[in-house]
């Protein structure tokens, strides 16, 4: 069975790091630049550590640490991460990670990007355990993703604003949906904003129409050709009176084998002002 590399290193007066554990596969690249903070302070060194280490049956680990310190500062790397993996349930991604050691750990920010993009987006944060010598477990759920391939990373931030990146090397894949579906609006009851999710598995035309309790059409929320994927419609009922409304979703087109499909679903919603 493959094993993972777990490491802690301490920078005292900023020497090169030493690994305190066995190195199955590990490499460290260090770059630094000295810069002047302002005329009233001593020069400051900015160090970036790129750490690539670890091997296990379920994940590999790559991280970056950026620290800025005055001369004679002692800096302790705040976190030892010993796993980082994910699960996927339709449009929902759940991240799991664990630490075996934490010093001065303020929080983890969760960042995500499409693998074809260079731009990371912050999608949430989880509070750290400060200083801890016991195992701590973390989880975060990112829901409502569209079909695509994504990367995730953790930005670990300590109380002094130093930060370190932990990159999950495995790509997270949100596949094409397998069934047609329209969700119950949420929230429900609502005032005046609500959302409706819908799913389409093949190219086709989709419509979403809203009716009052007498059967009169009061709004057309959707009427267009759509490609396979997961979608969300935002609806604002500010111009409608309180009451029960019916929405009807239809999708029609052709399956990959050339056969025609027609899907219809009807649900009710309650507007309370």
Residue 190 pLDDT greater than 60, yes or no: yes
Q: Distance between CA 229 and CA 206 in Å, rounded?
A: 12
Residue 22's alpha-carbon distances to 3, 7, 33, 73, 196, in angstroms, are 10, 8, 30, 27, 52
Q: What is the pLDDT of residues 137-151, one digit of tens each?
A: 999 999 988 889 999
Q: Which of 121, 140, 174 is the last residue of a domain?
A: 174
> Residue 3: inside a domain, yes or no?
no
- Summarize the confidence of residues 183-202 as an average pLDDT: 94
CA 189 to chain centre: 29
Q: Are residues 19 and 74 in the same domain?
A: yes
Q: What is the band of 77 on the pLDDT scale with cuts at 50, 70, 90?
A: low
What residue numbers bound the domain in which 65 lies? 10-174
> Residue 5: inside a domain, yes or no?
no
Higher pLDDT, 169 or 41: 169
Q: Are residues 161 and 69 in the same domain?
A: yes
Looking at the structure of the chain, the number of domains it has is 2
Q: Which of 174, 202, 226 is the last residue of a domain?
A: 174
Least trusted range by pLDDT, from 36-40, 196-200, 251-255, 268-272: 36-40
Q: Which of 155, 174, 193 is the last residue of a domain?
A: 174
Q: Distance between CA 169 and CA 60 in Å, rounded?
A: 6
**pLDDT in the model for residue 14:** 33
Give bridge partners of residue 28 from the DSSP assignment. Answer: 51
Q: What is the band of 67 on the pLDDT scale with cuts at 50, 70, 90?
A: very low
Q: What is the band of 254 on the pLDDT scale with cuts at 50, 70, 90?
A: confident
In the block, tokens 């349930």 appear at 89
Peptide bond into 187 cis (omega under 30): yes
Q: Are residues 28 and 97 in the same domain?
A: yes
- CATH code, domain with 262: 2.60.40.2550
Q: Are residues 35 and 125 in the same domain?
A: yes
Least trusted range by pLDDT, from 25-34, 136-145, 240-249, 263-272: 25-34
Q: Are residues 203 and 256 in the same domain?
A: yes
CA triplet 268, 269, 272: central angle to 5 degrees?
150
- Summarize the confidence of residues 61-81 as an average pLDDT: 54
Range among 21-25, 31-35, 148-152 with highest mean pLDDT value: 148-152
Q: Are residues 76 and 17 in the same domain?
A: yes
> Residue 140: inside a domain, yes or no?
yes
- Summarize the confidence of residues 146-161 as an average pLDDT: 92
**pLDDT in the model for residue 138:** 97
Q: Distance between CA 68 and CA 140 in Å, rounded?
A: 29
Mention every residue, 6+ apart, whose C-beta is less than 8 A from residue 262.
250, 251, 252
Mention every residue, 6+ apart, whose C-beta is less than 8 A from residue 117.
none
Range among 19-33, 45-59, 109-123 with highest mean pLDDT value: 109-123
Residue 231 pLDDT greater than 50, yes or no: yes
Higher pLDDT, 61 or 161: 161
Q: Distance between CA 223 and CA 233 in Å, rounded?
A: 12
**pLDDT in the model for residue 56:** 44
């Amino acid at each position: 069975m493959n094993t993972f590399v777990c490491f802690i290193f301490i920078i005292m007066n900023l020497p090169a790091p030493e690994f305190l554990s066995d190195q199955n596969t590990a490499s460290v690249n260090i770059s630094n630049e000295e810069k002047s903070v302002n005329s009233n302070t001593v020069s400051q060194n900015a160090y970036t550590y790129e750490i690539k280490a670890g091997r296990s049956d379920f994940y590999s680990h790559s991280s970056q640490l950026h620290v800025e310190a005055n001369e004679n500062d002692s800096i302790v790397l705040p976190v030892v991460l010993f796993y980082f993996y994910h699960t996927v349930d339709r449009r929902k991604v759940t991240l799991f990670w664990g630490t075996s050691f934490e010093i001065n750990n303020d929080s983890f920010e969760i960042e995500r990007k499409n693998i074809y993009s260079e731009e990371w987006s912050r999608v949430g944060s989880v509070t750290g355990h400060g200083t801890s010598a016991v195992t701590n477990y973390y989880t975060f759920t990112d829901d409502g993703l569209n079909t695509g391939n994504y990367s995730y990373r953790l930005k670990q931030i300590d109380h002094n604003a130093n930060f370190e990146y932990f990159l999950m090397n495995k790509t997270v894949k949100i596949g094409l949906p397998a069934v047609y579906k329209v969700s119950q609006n949420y929230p429900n009851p609502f005032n005046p904003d609500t959302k409706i999710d819908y799913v389409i598995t093949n190219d086709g035309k989709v419509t979403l129409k809203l009716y009052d309790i007498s059967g009169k059409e009061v709004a057309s929320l959707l009427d267009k050709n759509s490609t396979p994927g997961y979608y969300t419609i935002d609806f604002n009922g500010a111009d409608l009176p309180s009451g029960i409304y019916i929405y009807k979703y239809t999708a029609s087109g052709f399956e990959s084998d050339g056969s025609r499909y027609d899907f219809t679903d009807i649900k009710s919603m309650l507007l309370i002002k």
